[in-house]
Each structure stands twice: as C-alpha cells, then as structure tokens.
Structure 1
C-alpha cells in the first residue's frame, strides 16, 4: 500500500472511530444520562418523545443548536471561540492509541500511555481559557478551580498508571493489554486473568477515584458547582458552543473509561463475545459508575478537594508506586 492509500485509509478509520464516539456520546449523554440518573434516584426519566424517549436526542440537538449564540460583552473573542474546540479535540485525540479490539486501533506508538495522558491534559488549557475569556467572575473562578483540581489529581493519576507500567514493562498500549492475557490463578476450573485490577486492586481504586476528579464527577464536580458558581467555566456559553462544552465533558468521561479498561480490565479481552464488544461493555461500566457517583455522592468543598488531592491521593499514589516497584523487583 502506497503512502497516499495509507493516508486515506487512516483518515477514513479516524472518521469512523470519531463518528462512533460522537454517536455514543449523543445516546449516553442526552438519553442515557437521564435514564441512569432516574434509575438511581427512583424517578421517571424521558419516556414520551419517541420509543423509550429516544427521540429526546434529536429534540435536544435541535433545541440547543437553534438557540442564539450570545457572546458576552468584553469577552476575549479568539480565546472564547477556541476553548471549546481545544477541549473536544483533546478528548478525541486520546482515543487514537486506545486498542479497542477486533483490530480497531488507529496508532500504537511505543510511548502510547504518555501520549494519551499528554493530549487529555490539554483540556485544562481549554477550561482556564474558557473561564478567563468569558469576562465573568463566576466563569473565571470555575476555570481556576478546574486547573487547581486537574493539577492536584493528574499527578496521582499518572503515578498510579506508572505502577501498571512497572508490571507490564512497557508504555505501549497494545503490550499493556497483551500482558493481561495470562492466567493469574485458577479457581474451581475458572481461569482468573492477570487484569491489573485483580493484581493490584489498591491501584485500581486509586485510579478510579482520581479519574472521577479528572472528569469532574461527584464528589469532585467543584469547577461547575451550580449552587456556588452557577455553572463555572461554561456559564457564558450558549448554542453550539455549549454543545461543544457538553460534548467534551462526556467524551472525556468515555476516554477515562477507555483508559481504565486498557490499564486495569484487560482492554478488549473477554470470552465468547468479540473484543470490541467487551471493550465497549467495560467502558460503559465505568461511565455508569461515574453517573452513580453523580447521583449518590455529595460534593466536597474546594478546600477539601485540594486537601484530598495533595495530602491524600498524592501520598497514596507514591506509596503504591514504591510498593509495586519493590514487589516487582523482588519477584524479578
């Protein structure tokens, strides 16, 4: 295959993966979110617009996109315009190195794990840009909170992922998945795989908690706390810009789920069903967990959030990394 053919195939594959992700976000973010939250809180969700309320997806899309795009007075227009695009792009680019099973992986660089954390962290730039450029004190406060939160929890997130790298001996995403295909132990004729959630459940719990903070779900939804700062950094966004902000939030949630599935749950590995189906199930399971947290866990104060990150999660993640290195060193 020539260079032009390779380029065209790559563009087509990226477009298909992007379309699938956007469709998944549309279903889960607009319809699924309401249904899951209603189930957790014993309420009735959308059920009148189309079968099972599914046409709420179309109704919400038309409603939001048809609204007037209001630009606040004194906004820093170039920064205001580009912030939502930065946030969406950072999440979509992260999926480029995720092995989704059935041969679906756009790229597999040797430093794939470094890449996915690097591009996803660019969202912090979009958050603070949106808050600053809106010329709104509540938005600016939300942007500052978002940056403080992301810095406090990205370090524990990366350190916990580094403990997986010590076990796998590689930063390549496909190799991390391959390292989890062996059998850890056999119980009653059932083979338990070497998923790192089983090998190191402490690291799995740490990563899930830090991931909740990174995607802004309870108890860490302080940057958008509606009862305190209206809607935080996205207060002044409307119409298509609000759609992009909302879209970026849910794509980041699914990216977090994809990383969790890859690092701790064997990626697309699983019996009977195709690998892509198993990957989707695991990613959706993490998504449902975040929605449960949103419904059931109360929000912490901003000072408590920072204290948990710097005095709790950071210390625990360093301890986990050190113990993992010792254990692997002794076994090796």
Structure 2
C-alpha cells in the first residue's frame, strides 16, 4: 500500500474503506428509491406523487427518515425479544453482504468489487437467502398470528422460487465454466454477432433469453413483488411478518426490502446484461451498471402496479409445478448445447 507489504492496521483501514465504498451504492439507492417508488407507482396508476416537500417532492426522503426514526419503538407483550430484535437486522444486512462480490465497474480508477472469490455466485445466493431466516424470525417472534402466517408464507415462497433461481443461474455457469463473478462478466464481452457494423456483445440475456425471463420471474418472487407479495398481503394478513414492527425496526425491514430489489437487479445485470459493460469509455461502467439495476427496479414497480396478486396455493403451484420444471428443462438444454458446441 505504501511501498511495502501492508501492516495489519493498514489492511484493516483499507478493508473498511472498501466496504464503505461498496455498501454506499445499495444504501444510497435504497434511500433514493423511497422517492422514486412513489413517483413511479403514481405514474403507473395515474395519481399525484409527493410534490410539495422540496423540489419535485425529493425532500420526502428526509421527512420520512425523521418521521420514522422519531416514532416510539412499540414492542408488543409476549414477543420473543432476541429473535424479535435479530429479524430486522438479518433482513437488512444480508442484502448488503451480497454486494461484496458484485463487480460494479470502477470509480476514479478504483475497481468497485470488495472480493472476487471462486464461488462468488454461490456466495451471493447463500447470503441473500439469509433474509428468509430474518422474515421467519420476524413472524415467529411477534406473538401475532398474522405475522406468523406471513413468516411461514415467506419461507414457503422463497424455497419454491430459490431453487428455480439457482438452477437458472447454474445455466449461466455452464456457459462460463466458472462461479467467479468477474469471469461471468468477462465472458459476456465477447462479440456475439455484428449487424450493420455494430458488434452485439454475447450477453446471456441475448444468448439464452428463456433463462433470462425465468430468472426475472423468480427474482420477483424473491424480492416479494407482485404477483408474489404473499408474505405481506395487506388485504389478507394485515402486513404479514412486519405487522408488529415500528420505528427503526420498520425502517430496517423496509430498507432491506429495497436493498434486496437492488441486489436482485445487480445479479441480473451481472449474469445476463454484461455487468458494468456498455457503450463509451470504461469510466462510465458504474453508470451503466446503475442504469441496469434501475431498469430491473422499474420492472418490479411495473409488476407491483399492473399484475394482480395470486393466492398462496397458486403461488406454490406455479413455483413447484411451473418454474421448477422449466428451470430444469433450461438447465438440461443448456448443458446439451454447451456439450455439442464444445
């Protein structure tokens, strides 16, 4: 770092700075999305979004932060307090951990990727699934039957759709031959076809659009967006696992929900959309990466506004009888194609 091998103190400082830099992207996006979610949903449903608190309603973010954090933390009687406290933390921080291995391009010559392990894709799926445990803890510990039902629904939903999600991701690994996230991005930089002098990169969304569609649908279920918002389902179980949470705990759950949406978008961008690659110089990589994440976010908001919620039995049936079968078919066909081509 300073002309020689780093000391433990220097290594610790560098690690903290890198972690802060990488976590800045999801945390900032989660804050901005409070405003963007309302604006986008209002546009879809022909309503008036926040427009009075600051220019174009942008200061609604600050107002919401003070409003929620200043509220009293009401803890119901009979809760399992350790689990009640731990649940929101797991929901929020499991998504932030996932960003550690996502290659997000570069900023001022600094590569925005905290770590690049050989099992990067497996790591992302593993830490993202920790949120399911957090939702279950929230539901179980709240001493509320609606919360408990919401926690059980979250577990049933995530198990049903995480398997197709992982199998679809495995089809990308078959093309790449590696679980390392940087390798997955690098293989998509190869030219696929040239049309009128324009070279089309071999993004896996173009190479295997069937897998891309499957992954996007399964990702909707993972982040709890319509038609798969069954664990909350306000018309059925009040607000599900988060019914008994207020103040800072509600903020953690709410923030965790949106960070998971952006983590899902980051995984989609990395696996299927070439990561930080895009037209122009390499210095624009972070902007292209953020644009792809926000594109996935807009898709989730469109689904939230336009697609009706399915029943819990329909959700499970779609997952086990539809998505699982289709993801297995996609995996087998991908293996055949890769075997024949190689």
Where on the TM-score scale, by shorter chain, does this alignment land: which range? over 0.9
How many angstroms apart in 1 are the aligned matches of 2:95 and 2:252? 12
Of 5, 9, 22, 2:14 maps to 9
Deviations 1:61-111 (A, max 9, x none): 111111110001100000000110011111000000000001110000000
How many angstroms apart in 1 are the aligned matches of 2:328 and 2:24? 38
- Shift of residue 164 of structure 1? 0.1
- Shift of residue 49 of structure 1? 0.6
- Shift of residue 7 of structure 1? 2.3
In structure 2, the partner of 1:323 is: 333
- Shift of residue 238 of structure 1? 0.2
2:160 aligned with 1:155: no
The answer on whether the counterparts of 2:95 and 2:128 sit within 8 Å (CA) in structure 1 is: yes
Question: Any idea what SS the aligned residue of 2:75 has?
Answer: coil
How many angstroms apart in 1 are the aligned matches of 2:268 and 2:133? 23
2:145 aligned with 1:141: no
2:59 aligned with 1:55: yes
In structure 1, the partner of 2:215 is: 207
How many angstroms apart in 2 are the aligned matches of 1:127 and 1:245? 9
Of 261, 264, 267, 1:256 maps to 264
- Shift of residue 133 of structure 1? 0.1
Of 20, 23, 27, 1:18 maps to 23
Task: List runs of 5+ in structure 1 lacking aligned partners.
Answer: none
2:180 aligned with 1:176: no
Of 66, 69, 74, 1:65 maps to 69
**Superposition map of 1:1-332 within 5 A:** 1=1, 2-4=6-8, 5-28=10-33, 30-102=34-106, 103-272=111-280, 274-332=284-342
Of 158-167 and 4-13, deviating more is 4-13
Question: Any idea what SS the aligned residue of 2:231 has?
Answer: helix
How many angstroms apart in 1 are the aligned matches of 2:25 and 2:228? 28
- Shift of residue 265 of structure 1? 0.1
How many angstroms apart in 2 are the aligned matches of 1:120 and 1:136? 26
- Shift of residue 188 of structure 1? 1.4
What root-mean-square deviation, in Å, do the aligned CA atoms of Structure 1 and Structure 2 show?
0.8
* Structure 1 runs, 4 residues or longer, greater than 2 Å off: none
Deviations 1:101-150 (A, max 9, x none): 01110000000000000000011110001000000000000000000000
How many angstroms apart in 1 are the aligned matches of 2:123 and 2:278? 26
How many angstroms apart in 1 are the aligned matches of 2:195 and 2:300? 31
User: TM-score, length-normalised on structure 2?
Assistant: 0.96
Equivalent pairs, count: 331
Deviations 1:189-232 (A, max 9, x none): 11111000000000000000000000000000000000000000
- Shift of residue 20 of structure 1? 3.3
How many angstroms apart in 2 are the aligned matches of 1:202 and 1:168? 17
How many angstroms apart in 2 are the aligned matches of 1:246 and 1:174? 30
How many angstroms apart in 2 are the aligned matches of 1:163 and 1:89? 28
How many angstroms apart in 2 are the aligned matches of 1:94 and 1:3? 27
